[in-house]
Amino acid sequence: MSNACRLLASTLLSVSLGAGLACAQEDQDVIQVNGRFLSLDQLNAVKTPTPILDVPQSLSIVTDIQITEQGFTNLADILRYTPGLSSSQGEGHRDSINIRGNQSTADFFLNGIRDDVQYYRPLYNLEQVEILRGSNALLFGRGGGGGVVNRVTKDPVFGERFTSISGAVDSFGAYQLSGDTNIEAGDGAALRLNAFVEDVANHRDAFEGSRYGINPTFRTRLGNETTATFFYEYLDDDRVVDRGVPSVAVVGGPDRPLTGQDDTFFGSRDGNRTTLQAHTFRARIDHEYTDQLRGNVTVQYADYDKAYQNIYAASFNTATTPNQVTLDGYRDTTARTNLVVQANLVGEFETGPFGHTFLFGGEYGEQDTDNARFDNVFAASNDDQITIDFSNPLVVPAFAFSAPARDRSSQVSFTSFYIQDQIDLTDSLKLVLGARLDRFDVAVLDRRAVSATDSGRRGRVDEEVSPRFGLIYKPAENLSVYASYSETFLPSAGDQFLTLSPTTEDIRPQTFENREIGAKWDITRRFSVTAAIFQLERGQFTTVDPDDASVVTTVAGSTTEGFELQLIGEVTPAWTINAGYSYLDGVVEGGGFDGNATRQTPEHMLSVWNRYQLTEQIGLALGATYQGAYFVLEDNSVEIPAYTRVDAAVFYDLDDETRLQLNIENLFDEDYFPDAHSNSNISTGEPLNARLSISHTF
């Protein structure tokens, strides 16, 4: 750990012994996720009814109220206001996150079950979003090198009947309509139905699309001790794929994003498209054996049909007159089915003077994927790339798609068992010990590699044991200080299990080790502070050569050291605040990049959201986010500049059931670049814009 981190650790521990930290906002006796407890009843990734004060891990919870009031429309909006996280571009067709210097498109969960397909996840049916930072295979399984994002959906409510509807439109012409209704379905049964339809648009004229979803959930009591929940969701998404603008050379380097072309679309208005149709079915049984023993079993099956195609800028040359742009492109199709069965047993008991909260669980899964990639061919060059004179709008030459350049299928089966015990050594000292055993069997058929001497079949079986250790000291009931160590791993087939080759099938899984100390303090019953200092070590990994996507470079590893701080709650009865800060120092080791910064890791990130209730009817809010400069890839050849964006909102309650809301984003019209995918694909930030919404509850 660096000297800076040691100093921060020393300062944090000395302060926390007299103060401390916690994420709670509600009364102690309210056992729910947005209160003091991350409860098993809420289907979250922690799996045990543990107070947040006793979780030896840095985490953030974004409630449905915060999502609504800040006008969040996607996960990238949420990440912008969460310490330690930032969003990656995802090539304009998927969610992609950076947590503690580690990028992933697969570390997403839905009600505690992995949701690893590449798509944009909607927010219409969420109770909250839980963001847990740090490697932890015991809770999450493989992946999650920097942490995970778990979406918790709205459950049916027994004995209540209500309906809410909302609509919103912004200055770009985008709109959304959504509804949420809860219906009593007899004694001990309820049905909840959430649905939405959305038309997407932004400041780039070529960008447009639509999506909709429907999510019925039925819950019923099967006796006094047993509850069954049945969930179905259908999503349909059809939109333009926009990969932003390229970078340009800067004398003395590093290169920077192209400026002055925020509205220019470096693609084909007709050819850049992504579609998704997704079905998710889930059944869950919860049973309470005694007051001290309960368990659950969840079965989830999901079917995804995803396709995207795009033309994008591969480079931009300012040394010519006119300037020239090199275009590239491809089409990618993915069909995937996932089956996951998860069971948990949680018991609370005592052995002599020690109290125990014991977790034993298992998980079995099967994942079948067919994936193909088709290179585009420009008629004028008879190649997948072409260099043309730059113009605005860009005139894209005629192109078509070739035979598959990649054609693979994969079958993955995994079996996991995990065990954890939280031991109350004394009233103020707790110990968490646990481990998870994972067995991964990956089989890949590479149809392009089939020949007389090669069957095209690759395979690897991995068995990994991932430990977890935590120590929590509570000098006061509203204060905890913790230290933790945890591990996770990622099989060599990658987070999408499609990259197994004769070389990678002989490579052991990539490993992650997270060391962390932190503190949590409920300053008052409704105001809390959390802080954490960590060191995250990542083992050997591969990265694509920025100059040639067909070349894969092996990197020895990376280390990220950092500090995270979050304040949340009521300063006064009228004033609430949610503020976060993170410091990240990520360094790459070996692979020709030794000493470089890890990809897309801003050193400093700061966010704050203030809400003030002016009168009984009128509320005001003001927020800001700062993101420091960062390098796009490990080669550190392109740097994205720092930016500060200011947002605001006004709330007006017409009556107890109806609210008008105006959100202003980028109040001072900052010109900025929020995220990137590669050195030549960099997103441009939206200018000043407004979103007007109305909601009504029956």
In this prediction, residue 635 carries a pLDDT of 92
Look at strands 226-239 and 639-640 and give their pairing: unpaired
Rounded to 5°, the CA angle 525-623-688 comes to: 160
In this prediction, residue 45 carries a pLDDT of 58
Burial of 619 (0-12, 13-18, 19+ CB in 10 A): buried
Q: What does the pLDDT average to over 242-251? A: 96
Query: Which DSSP letter does residue 48 get?
Result: S
Question: Model confidence at 506, in pLDDT bands (50, 70, 90)?
Answer: low
Q: What does the pLDDT average to over 144-166? A: 95
Is residue 465 within 8 A of residue 436, CB to CB? The reply is: yes
Is residue 164 within 8 A of residue 182, CB to CB? The reply is: no
Helix (H) or strand (E) holding 66: helix 64-69
Residue 490 included in any domain: yes
In this prediction, residue 508 carries a pLDDT of 83
Cα 543 to Cα 9, 283, 380, distances in angstroms: 32, 39, 32
In this prediction, residue 186 carries a pLDDT of 86
In this prediction, residue 143 carries a pLDDT of 87
pLDDT digits (tens, 9 = 90+) for 344-384: 999 999 999 999 999 999 999 999 999 999 999 999 999 99
Is residue 543 within 8 A of residue 634, CB to CB? The reply is: yes
In this prediction, residue 4 carries a pLDDT of 43
Tell me which residue of 2, 239, 288, 294 sits closest to 122, measured CA to CA.
239
Higher local confidence (pLDDT), 10 or 112: 112
Q: What does the pLDDT average to over 187-195? A: 96
Alpha carbon distance 79, 83 (integer Å): 8
Give the DSSP per-residue string, 100-130: TTEEESS-EEETTEE--SSSPPP-TTEEEEE
Handedness of CA 85, 86, 89, 95 (dihedral sign): positive
Q: Is the pLDDT score of 6 beyond 60?
A: no
User: Hey, what amino acid is at 180?
Assistant: D
pLDDT digits (tens, 9 = 90+) for 629-659: 999 999 999 999 999 999 999 999 999 999 9
Higher local confidence (pLDDT), 442 or 23: 442
pLDDT digits (tens, 9 = 90+) for 610-621: 999 999 999 999
168 token code pair: 């919103």
Residue 386 included in any domain: no
Q: List the domain range (segments joined by +) for residue 30.
A: 3-372+405-697
The structural domain count of the chain equals 1
CATH number for 128: 2.40.170.20
Q: Is the pLDDT score of 13 beyond 70?
A: no
Peptide bond into 491 cis (omega under 30): no
In this prediction, residue 11 carries a pLDDT of 38
Helix (H) or strand (E) holding 230: strand 226-239
Residue 504 included in any domain: yes
Alpha carbon distance 364, 83 (integer Å): 33
Neighbouring C-beta atoms of residue 165, cutoff 10 Å: 15
Q: Is the pLDDT score of 32 beyond 90?
A: no
Rounded to 5°, the CA angle 266-598-468 comes to: 125
In this prediction, residue 548 carries a pLDDT of 60
In this prediction, residue 555 carries a pLDDT of 83
Query: Which DSSP letter does residue 10 get?
Result: H
User: Hey, what amino acid is at 18?
Assistant: G
Residue 344 included in any domain: yes
> Which of 271-280, 308-317, 590-599 has the least mean pLDDT?
590-599
Neighbouring C-beta atoms of residue 582, cutoff 10 Å: 25
In this prediction, residue 551 carries a pLDDT of 62
What's the distance, CA 346 to chain centroid? 27
Residue 381 included in any domain: no
Residue 397 included in any domain: no
Residue 277 included in any domain: yes
Alpha carbon distance 668, 127 (integer Å): 32
Residue 684 included in any domain: yes
Alpha carbon distance 357, 496 (integer Å): 34
pTM of the full structure: 0.91
Question: Model confidence at 42, in pLDDT bands (50, 70, 90)?
Answer: very low
pLDDT digits (tens, 9 = 90+) for 521-574: 999 888 999 999 999 999 888 776 666 655 667 788 999 999 999 999 999 999
